[in-house]
Structure 1
Amino acid sequence: MLISVYVPFAVTAVLAVLAPRLAPLLPPRPAAWALACAALVTAVGWAGSLALLAFTGVAQIPEVAEEGRWSVAALRAEDPVYLVVAAGSALVLAAGTVSLGVAAVRQTRHVVLARRECARLPQETELAVLDDDAPIAFALPGKPGRVVVSRGMLRCLGDQERAALLAHERAHLRGRHHLFQGLWRLAAALNPLLRPLAVAGDFVLERWADEEAADRVGDRTVVAHAVGRAALASAGVSRPVALAVTGGVVPQRVRALLGPPPRRRSLPLVAGAVLLAVCCASLANAASDSDRIMDSAQCAAQSPTANVRTAAGHRHGPELCRGVHVRPELRR
């Protein structure tokens, strides 16, 4: 546990640094799935490691030890974690949990507002055209989702560019990109180290929609022009909290569309999968070590011949402690 419990922290830091640099080099669709898996696994690993470290401190509180029927002296002798580390982990975990709750409430509110906006739109078709001179275009997820575009935006684009813009927004709805966004934002709320990964994820989603629009239209240059013109037209215009064609870093998106489609690269995906596997294995090993330490502390709290029923209803006696080495001086 002394080493394995800290491995998820190291994996999170490595992915937070490398993922934003490698994601733009990969095809956007597998890059988005890879970032989603990385965010989910590292967030769980982060929280699990903090919980294990915090529990080692909480378990040494006499009232908690009495309730759990384990020896504080044995736990302190076996536990390799300093009390200040356990206390700090508890504070970080508590702060992350509160931040996660706030982010979850915000995400839920955004979903509810999006569905209400869908219901209020005048047209009943997937495409809703607003009678507004401000250049606006975005995808509004719901049941069903809607593509919202203003007349001002349509006037800024040619016929082919309009088709590219609509294909881009429909790709957001078809790929359920708002779910990816929600996952990244929740993970970043729990673990601040994942914020760069969330930013990279938003860019990858726009690139995913760009590539699908290029496949639909059949001309990457047309999509690049549509993205560039839409971004220039909407400069200074406030956007709703939704997936929009003007999202992400527009110059990088245009540059990618003017070049060839991204090549498939398996090495970054394999390396990321290995890191995530190491994170999961380390967390499982740390949890196993923590369970062993607690069993040892429980056995040390009992006499060699006593059978004591714990609060969980399990009997602890010689048959449970057999095979668990406890030093005589740690027995109470």
Structure 2
Amino acid sequence: MRIAVYLPLLFPLLAALIARPVGERLPPRLATWLLTVGALVLAAASTAALGMLAITGLIRVPLLARLAHDHWSARAAQHHDPASLSVAVLAGAALAVVVAMAGRMLWRRARTLARATSEAACLPGRDQLVIVDDPAAQAYALPGRPGRIVVSTGMLAALEPPEHQILLAHERAHLAHRHHLFVALAQFGAAANPLLRPLADTVAFTVERWADESAATAVGDRERVARTIGKAALAARRTKARGWIPSAALGLLGRFGRFRSAGLGPVPRRVTALLAPAPHRHVWSAAALAGLAAATALCAAEAAHDLETLLELAKRAARA
């Protein structure tokens, strides 16, 4: 419990620094998987570290030591534990906040996905594609069984008929690869540890890049996909969507809540990426994030072993 327990609390800072390079240098599918799994592993390890530090404070309470089934010596626990009581108290308070934030995010995201699924089921017709009469240029995919693709008449009017194929290929990729779940899981990790917010933001970007590359593969022209995204962004900027759009929706221009509140956001980066050569596997970027997640898990396991040793020493002292 000397060093290993603190490292999982620091490693998310390093992960936040390399999140964007990982998202831009790796193929988007690989980047999405790495960032999502990395966010979950780092969040779980940092939460476990806070829990272990909080436990070192609890085992110093004589009343708890006497009430426990396997008695331990609170004095021995205090003597052998290098962490101070103030650190344990702070860790306990932070753990309570983390659990509350993660629980709130899990509830909100589950409710949002359920609402989007219900909305998809209530859309008219049985086809995957639903065209709505709205002059605002908008297009998005709703998760569900089956998922639905909603496109406005305004968006269809803003694009040429060949570009409609690109739009539909992009939205079908969102549904086929369950991009909504990647975004939700990365956001859950960021809720458990706010330092991981850059990873969640990058996942929101890489799922769009993943759909872009899927559309480019379908039509065989990356430059044409880039032009289509640019035209759609300009058309959406000139118009204002009517009605409610579920926050779980993923569209040609990214997550709608983010687009409407912060302008075009990552759209220019996506267009630039499509105009450049297709990304290849960048070994060092992948190894950096994967190694960081593995090191975090190992440190958490080592800290758990140290805590077990501390409890064993306290129990032996109680029996002596």
TM-score range, shorter chain: over 0.9
Residue pair 2:36, 2:200 contacting (<8 A) in 1 also: no
The aligned counterpart of 2:77 is 75
Which among 233, 236, 258 is matched to residue 234 of structure 1? 236
Which among 113, 125, 132 is matched to residue 134 of structure 2? 132
The Cα offsets for residues 210-235 of structure 1, whole Å up to 9 and x where unpaired, read as 00000001111111111111111112
Aligned-pair CA distance for 1:237: 3.0
Q: Distance in 1 between matches of 2:287 and 2:22?
A: 12
The aligned counterpart of 1:256 is 273
Which among 152, 155, 164 is matched to residue 153 of structure 1? 155
Q: Secondary structure at the match of 2:141?
A: strand
The aligned counterpart of 1:18 is 18
Residue pair 2:158, 2:232 contacting (<8 A) in 1 also: yes
The Cα offsets for residues 29-79 of structure 1, whole Å up to 9 and x where unpaired, read as 000000011101101101010000011011111221112211111001100
Which among 174, 177, 197 is matched to residue 175 of structure 1? 177
Q: Distance in 2 between matches of 1:237 and 1:256?
A: 27
Aligned-pair CA distance for 1:286: 0.7
**Amino acid aligned to 1:59:** I
Q: Distance in 2 between matches of 1:286 and 1:96?
A: 19
Aligned-pair CA distance for 1:83: 0.8
The aligned counterpart of 1:316 is none
The aligned counterpart of 1:274 is 291
Q: Is 1:46 the equivalent of 2:46?
A: yes
**Amino acid aligned to 1:181:** V
- TM-score normalised by L of structure 1: 0.89
The aligned counterpart of 2:207 is 205
Q: Is 1:64 the equivalent of 2:64?
A: yes
The aligned counterpart of 2:146 is 144
Aligned-pair CA distance for 1:21: 2.8
Q: Distance in 1 between matches of 2:240 and 2:86?
A: 49
The Cα offsets for residues 142-168 of structure 1, whole Å up to 9 and x where unpaired, read as 011111111111000001211101100
Q: Secondary structure at the match of 1:264?
A: coil
Residue pair 1:136, 1:234 contacting (<8 A) in 2 also: yes
Percent identical among aligned pairs is: 44
Residue pair 2:186, 2:203 contacting (<8 A) in 1 also: yes
| Bigger RCO of structures 1 and 2 (CA < 8 A, at least 6 apart) | 2
Shift >2 Å, 4+ stretches? 236-240
**Structure 1 unaligned blocks of 5 or more:** 304-332
Q: Is 1:86 the equivalent of 2:95?
A: no
The aligned counterpart of 2:252 is 245
Q: Distance in 2 between matches of 1:83 and 1:20?
A: 38
Q: Distance in 1 between matches of 2:22 and 2:286?
A: 10
Aligned-pair CA distance for 1:240: 3.9
Residue pair 1:161, 1:225 contacting (<8 A) in 2 also: no
Q: Distance in 2 between matches of 1:123 and 1:150?
A: 15
Q: Distance in 2 between matches of 1:80 and 1:106?
A: 39
The Cα offsets for residues 253-288 of structure 1, whole Å up to 9 and x where unpaired, read as 111111111122112112222222211111111101
Q: Distance in 1 between matches of 2:50 and 2:18?
A: 23
- Aligned-pair RMSD on alpha carbons? 1.2
Q: Is 1:285 the equivalent of 2:302?
A: yes
